[in-house]
């Protein structure tokens, strides 16, 4: 693996010699993160996927309504 530091010290560009090596590094990266960081990463990926489709996830409300039905006793 070749690592090149970018302008920000917290970021790096890594060049891998194989796909298998890249997969191992990805798993190692996510295993080092807390549950909150993993969830935030998932949320960021979902928002990016919707943004690429032109959908703003923050402007849409739910298309469904929630109704609570009380059973009739007697």
The Cα 69–Cα 60 span in angstroms is: 26
10-48 confidence digits (pLDDT tens): 677 788 899 999 999 999 999 999 999 999 999 999 999
pLDDT recorded at residue 61: 66
DSSP string of 11-39, one letter each residue: -EEEE-SSHHHHHHHHHHHHHTS-HHHHH
> Quick one: which H or E segment has residue 66?
none
Q: Which of the two residues, 71 and 37, has the higher pLDDT score?
A: 37
What average pLDDT does this structure show over 2-11? 61
Q: Is the pTM of this model over 0.75?
A: no
Residue 4's pLDDT band, with cuts at 50, 70 and 90, is low
């Amino acid at each position: 693996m070749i690592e090149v530091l970018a302008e920000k010290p917290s970021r790096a560009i890594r060049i891998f010699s194989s796909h298998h090596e890249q997969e191992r590094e990805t798993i190692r990266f996510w295993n080092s993160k807390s549950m909150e960081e993993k969830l935030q990463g998932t949320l960021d990926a979902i928002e990016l996927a919707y943004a690429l489709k032109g959908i703003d996830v923050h402007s849409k409300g739910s298309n469904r309504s929630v109704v609570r039905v009380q059973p009739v006793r007697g």
